[in-house]
Amino acid sequence: MTTPEALAYVTKVLEQVDLYRHAASVVQYDMETVCPPKGMSRQGEVGAFLANQAFRLTKDDAFIEAAEALYSGRDGLNEFERALADKLHREYLRTRRMTAEDQHEQARVSNQAYVDWISAKEADNFSLFAHSLEEVRRVEMKSITLMDNASPIAYDNLLDTYERGMTSAELDRLFGACRERLVPLLRRIMASKKKIRRDFLTRPVNDRAQEAMARYLLTTIGFDFSRGALGTTEHPFTDGMGQFDERVTTNYDPKHFLTCLYSVIHEGGHALFDMNQPAENWKYYMTDVKTMGQHESVSRFYENRIGRSEAFIGLIYPKLRELFPELMADVSARELYEAVNYVEPSLIRTEADEFTYTFHIMIRYEIEKEIVRGNVSTADLPRLWNDTYEKYLGIRPSGDRDGILQDVHWTGGFGYFPTYALGNMYNAMYYNRMKEELDIDKAVSEGRFDLINGWMREHVFQKADRLAPRDWIRDITGRDLTPDDFLDYLEKKYTAIYELD
């Protein structure tokens, strides 16, 4: 088979794969947004079936032969075709010994775990989710045994699924640097006499006003509603279903409007990444190659580096006064800025302040490594979770809902959580690079997100699916990954806000 023939065959099959995966995404979106509780299990079965049909197409001998021929002839391909060949070869090595039955079992377990997690969270009872979590671990460990060239460190194989090339040894080094600098700074912040007003944050706000705020925020940062939609769910997420179909979700807490405000900006960041990627990514089925660390860097760039900046608060302040007149009547822009950057150890990751957020990720990283290693029984996980929160943040959950059941991610496996922290490190590095070419605060304060998004499109979005993360951040900044830019940023910002000596 010639290389052009291989490319033609591969793209023909991938078109069919994409149709199944698109349908599976629609079913999953429905299950997580509007599906009634008693219909979720059946919905999960339908999603698992569709995903399995897509997988079966890639396990066909003719497809594998064409994909490997494409990889062998990669030197004669353009950069997008070459990236596709590399992607397919990696997937082949990862799933060569995985049967369609194995894949279906994995999808079925994950979907049932989601259903059980919803029930357990509502009941505040981890035991309702425990069996499903054990099943998730079982299929995860089984998947490792089916990989070619698997790392002897089980967790590294799972981590690589989300952040290609990252290892637990490297994470240990990065998180060690975070602990060294953030723990003493947290103590200084907690000892500060600076008073930050927050009483207005819990004033009631109705869902309609919050939805209007969400749409305003998305429009402000450049979200295109002709290509995207906004919905609600238990745990906010973004799903890029197609080139012209980006789904963003949030939820509305009547007594904590910041939850919606920052979840929308965060998920909107994910959507902007998808909306602004090269059109060739769709042509060559390359939209899923960017890692979660790359993706989280963008969502947290918009959420925190932009969204919690004084320039952005100044921009949206008049609109918030218009939408929430009773809430904002006696609140200044400076008071709002300080309130959204208030530091306080808390139980819920998605509601955590920017400073203590990294601690939430380190806690999950430590626990999921123990789960994968088999060093802790499932029954002991709530206690381990609570003990680790007490060790890091000095607080202890009183129930499972605010503790081990608060996040959805373990329904799909392990290795995702560290990407949030990696995202902070990546975006701190490219923020500093952007600052060399653009007056960021001026652009934000004037609502010139065309300038912000234009720079991101050229430098951050353009090559994300064609470069491994290490090469990608080096291409953007000229430097290797380091936590220093992120830690320097936190130290400078919070020293100023809390008026530390």
Domain ranges of the chain: 3-150, 168-497
Q: For 287-326, give one letter per residue: b (16+ CB within 10 A) or e.
A: bebbbbbbbbbbbbbbbbbbbbbbbbbbbbbeebeebbee
Over the stretch 229-273, which tens digit does the pLDDT of each residue have? Answer: 999 998 899 999 999 999 999 999 999 999 999 999 999 999 999
Helix axes 207-221, 449-456, angle to 10 degrees: 60
Give the model's pLDDT for residue 1: 83
Q: Are 353 and 346 in contact (CB under 8 A)?
A: yes
Q: Are 418 and 171 in contact (CB under 8 A)?
A: yes
Residue type at 417?
F
- Clarify whether 45 is annotated catalytic: no
Please list, in sequence order, all residues whose beta carbon lies within 8 angstroms of the beta carbon of residue 133, skipping any fewer than 6 positions away.
113, 378, 381, 410
CATH fold, domain 168-497, is Neurolysin; domain 3 (1.10.1370)
3 state SS for 23-38: HHHHHHHHHHHCCCHH
Count Cβ atoms within 10 A of the Cβ of residue 125 and give its class: 0-12 exposed, 13-18 middle, 19 or more buried: middle
Q: State the residue for tokens 């609502």.
A: 447
Residue type at 260?
C
Among 267, 296, 303, 338, the one annotated catalytic: 267
With a cut of 70, which residues of the chain have pLDDT below it? none
Count Cβ atoms within 10 A of the Cβ of residue 133 and give its class: 0-12 exposed, 13-18 middle, 19 or more buried: buried
Give the model's pLDDT for residue 235: 85
Give the model's pLDDT for residue 234: 86
Q: Are 266 and 275 in contact (CB under 8 A)?
A: no
Give the model's pLDDT for residue 190: 95
Q: Are 24 and 51 in contact (CB under 8 A)?
A: yes
* Dihedral angle sign, alpha carbons of residues 113, 300, 155, 46: positive
The three-state secondary structure class of 245 is: strand
Give the model's pLDDT for residue 38: 92
Distance CA 491, CA 182 (A): 8
Q: Are 284 and 267 in contact (CB under 8 A)?
A: no
Give the model's pLDDT for residue 236: 93
Over the stretch 399-408, which tens digit does the pLDDT of each residue have? Answer: 999 999 999 9
Q: State the residue for tokens 């060093």.
A: 375
- Beta strand segments in 355-423, E: none
Helices (H), 394-417: none
Please list, in sequence order, all residues whose beta carbon lies within 8 angstroms of the beta carbon of residue 495, skipping any fewer than 6 positions away.
185
The three-state secondary structure class of 366 is: helix
DSSP at 235: S
Distance CA 10, CA 21 (A): 16
